[in-house]
Amino acid sequence: MPFRKGAEGCMATKSVSVGMMKAAQVGKAGGDFELVERDIPEPGPGQVRVKVEVCGICHSDVMVKDGLWPGLQYPRVPGHEVAGRVDALGEGVSAYMGFGRRPAGGRG
Ligand SMILES: [Zn+2]
């Protein structure tokens, strides 16, 4: 039987439930980071999901945390300087971006 969130009888883990991920979010502009659990999202059409292995924090993220970008909505998870492995493909994504690839991103 596959493990799923809330399934009875599955083996418990000591930290993160199956189907959940940890995220460091900012609850409000100027707020502190708080470690939360969120559902692991499924990639949409043309998207891949990346299991983040490392994430840097840059000045853009500090500006997000401090609420200095106009129009941001909170809670928000800063952090766009990531590296990880592709672990799910959305509809229409070619095999070129297949499982296990290690994209690294950043735009700030
Ligand atoms: Zn950046």
Q: Which domains does the chain have, with CATH numbers?
A: 20-97 (3.90.180.10)
What pLDDT, in 10s, does the model give residues 37-67? Answer: 999 999 999 998 999 999 998 999 999 999 9
What pLDDT, in 10s, does the model give residues 59-108? Answer: 999 999 999 999 999 999 998 899 999 888 899 988 765 667 777 665 54
* DSSP per-residue string spanning 14-46: SS--TTEEEEEEESSTTPPEEEEEEEPPPP-TT
Measure 75 CA to ligand 1 centroid, in angstroms: 19
Q: Are strands 20-26 and 48-56 parallel, antiparallel or unpaired?
A: unpaired
Q: Measured between alpha carbons, how far is 82 from 13 in angstroms, rounded to an integer? A: 26
- Taken in order 14, 20, 26, 27, the sign of the CA dihedral is negative
Measure 79 CA to ligand 1 centroid, in angstroms: 8
Measure 7 CA to ligand 1 centroid, in angstroms: 38
The answer to whether the predicted template modeling score (pTM) of the entire model surpasses 0.75 is no
